[in-house]
Structure 1
Amino acid sequence: MLATLLGGALGVEREARNQAAGLRTHTLVSLGACCFTLSSVYTEELLRMGANPSGTQTDISRIASQVVVGIGFLGAGVILRHGEAVRGLTTAANLWLTASVGLACGLGLYLAAAVTVALALLSLVVLRPVSRILSPEEGRHGGRHSKPPEGRNSEDGPPTGEDEESRPR
């Protein structure tokens, strides 16, 4: 339950910014990572209780490492190219972090998961104005305009209008 709530907290911020991966995506990533972790932990317990065929061993870190690798594919799906600009990097990083929150909850590291979510929300919300001061060009960091500045990357913000250059090839 905590993984679902904490993942949802991260998703609310992305949903409020009208990102492709929002509340439901973040909730499901955290819950799924938690379930994979619990499955891994309980598999080890089952094998320890003698339910294993002779010589069978388990390593709970294997599932966790595959979650970390697998989440990259989901993150890649929210990174979009609009001409020279790249959008969705913050949302992809947030999905990656959300998976770590689910893993931490699955391992019973509730304080670590909660502190991670708090720090992530601080980064997403509080550092946005700082980012705008450091790189003030129009449209960066969630600003609204019709087309990204030529030759510049944009951390996040709503996708711009559909054009031929923005479609994956």
Structure 2
Amino acid sequence: MWLFNAFWGQAEFYFSIIIRLLEACLLGGIIGFEREHLHRPAGFRTHILVCVGSALVMITSEFIYKKFSPNVNVDPARLGAQVISGIGFLGAGTIIKEGINVKGLTTAASLWAVSCIGIAVGIGFYSGAFITTIIIFLTLVVIRKVQRRRSSQRDVRLCIHTLIKRGEARQLSSIIEEFGATVLDTEFVSSERDGEIILRYKIQMPNEVPLIELIEAVLCHNTVRRVYEE
């Protein structure tokens, strides 16, 4: 009877470990799938690895606590705290700066959140991990779609090389506005080439209007030499 109890106790312990790691794999994969779908730097596999690794850290903390707490003072949350602070190096690797734009912050935040989910699963806080996963997934998917629908226009910077005089630049602005775009700012830059003037337009145009059509319309003006997006 004693041998059976000992065997059952060990089997129950390992079964619990398997369930926790598999759940961490599932929950991390849910968030990672959404990131992978958008071709982000950290995708499906990365989120799974972070979540499962964090879960293992907390399982190890629990194991250390149960084994050594009768003899020494052990803090079961210590390893988990190192995960939360240490995941920053991986998140930083997903952040990319392109000019004044910064990309990857959402992916970095999702990695940090997934590590927290793994910690919750590893310690056995299943309900908190499931609820958090649902909230994160809805935040990434639903709110992104709402933001896209609300943002029906996009900002574009056009650079136009033209022979038109400064006082006649309104003609080009009128062509741009015919496409439903709004001219936000215009910058004049003198050029040394045959009296050429460079106009830098900052415009806001509807998403459904192809930029190439606007560029072709501007190029049709007899004074325009080149048009390109900056």
Tell me which interval the TM-score lies in, with the shorter structure as reference length: 0.7 to 0.9
1:18-167 matches, within 5 Å, as 18-48=39-69, 50=70, 52=71, 56-133=72-149, 135-138=151-154
Q: Normalized per residue, which structure has more helix?
A: 1
Count of residues paired in the alignment: 135
Question: What amino acid does structure 2 have at the position aligned with 1:123?
Answer: T
Match of 2:180 in 1: none
Partners of 2:153 and 2:132 lie apart in 1 by: 30
Q: Which has the higher contact order (CA 8 A, sep 6+)?
A: 1
- Distance, in Å, in 2 between the alignment partners of 1:129 and 1:13 is 13
From the CA coordinates, give the structure whose radius of gyration is larger.
2
User: What is the aligned partner in structure 1 of residue 32 from structure 2?
Assistant: 11
CA distance in 2, matches of 1:136, 1:86: 21
The Cα of 1:73 is off from its aligned counterpart by 1.0
Q: In the alignment, residue 118 of structure 2 is paired with which amino acid?
A: G
- CA–CA distance in structure 1, aligned partners of residues 48 and 153 of structure 2: 32
Q: Which runs of 5+ in 1 are unaligned?
A: 140-149, 151-169
Q: Which amino acid aligns with 1:11?
A: G
Distance 2:105 2:68 in 1: 40
Identity of aligned residues (%): 42
For normalisation by structure 1, the TM-score amounts to: 0.75
Root-mean-square deviation over aligned CA pairs: 1.7
Displacement after TM superposition at 1:20 (Å): 0.7
Higher fraction of strand = 2
Partner SS state of residue 42, structure 2: coil
Unmatched 5+ stretches in structure 2: 1-21, 156-201, 203-230
Partner Cα distance (1:136, 1:112) in 2: 36
CA distance in 2, matches of 1:37, 1:137: 46
